[in-house]
Amino acid sequence: MRVPTVLGAKQDAETPAANRSRDAASTRLLLLKAARRRFARHGYSTTTVRDIAADAGVNVALINRYFSSKEGLFEACLRQVGEDLGRPAGSTTTIEHTLEKMLTRVADQPSGDHTMQLLLLLRSSGDDRADQIRLSTLRSFTEGIATSAGWQAGSADDDKLLLRAQIAMATALGVVLLRSSTGLEPLASATAEDLRDPLGEVLATLVAPTGL
């Protein structure tokens, strides 16, 4: 009674290639998803292409077919994250809205997709091009925060505000990393509610315009 898989259908990582019949786009997505999890959780060099392929329920050689190399797959993951995170920049959003979005992302469950995205920004393959993508993603994201806090690129001493936005980003990333990769309690299993107050205070202290 299995219907043929449609393109882009949700596939649980646990039951990978259950019903999938020679659909290139679909296997590409399976690989991307599995790779993002592995890379985010264990880093680039720790994860093997065989691991990723197994998670995706797909033959190893297809990684090279669809992404040229392990490196290419990593870059693709990074680009995807960049697209997902790059959106909310722009001065039209209020600082409250921006911080709220950061809060929900950080407070996501440690194995959730948002967590994986943020973690990936901390992983490096050593390759220059990948590092470039990561850097520009981080830059545009932190500039988005700063902008919504009143920052204008170029204005000399407002570099301080950009610096503060980057420290806010560092806090977010640090919390996510500590939550997911060490079992440090109570942080590791703190709920979104638990985190809201302290994290909110920190972010407000850093970049809320009244706080300056």
Partner DNA sequence: GCTCTATGTAAACAAGTGCTGACTTAGGCA
Partner DNA sequence: TGCCTAAGTCAGCACTTGTTTACATAGAGC
Stretch that binds a copy of itself, among 67-75, 108-116, 128-136, 149-157 (CB under 8 A): 128-136
One of 59, 109, 132, 189 touching DNA (CB under 7 A): 59
Tokens at 49, concatenated: 């292409």
Residue that is written with structure tokens 């991307």 in the block: 32
The CA distances from residue 119 to 78, 112, 169, 173, 210, in Å, are: 11, 11, 12, 7, 30
Among 8, 69, 132, 192, binds DNA (CB under 7 A): 69
Task: Assess contact for 149 and 212: CB atoms under 8 A.
Answer: no
Pick what 77 binds: a copy of itself, DNA, none; C-beta below 5 to 8 Å, kind-dependent. none
Please select the residue that binds DNA; options are 32, 49, 77, 169, rule is CB under 7 A: 49
Closer residue to DNA, CB minimum distance, 53 or 161? 53
State yes or no: residue 17 binds a copy of itself (CB under 8 A). no
Number of residues located near a copy of itself, criterion CB under 8 A: 45
Residue 177 one-letter amino acid: L
* Among 131, 106, 179, 57, CA closest to 98: 106
CB-based burial label for 124 (10 Å; 0-12, 13-18, 19+) = middle
Residue 173: contacted member of DNA, a copy of itself, none (CB under 5 to 8 Å, by partner type): a copy of itself
Residue 131: CB atoms within 10 Å:
13
Return the residue of 19, 45, 64, 94 that touches a copy of itself, per CB under 8 A.
45
Q: Is 54 in the site for DNA (CB under 7 A)?
A: no
Residues of the shown chain interacting with DNA in the complex, contacts defined by CB under 7 A: 20-24, 26-27, 47-50, 58-65, 68-71
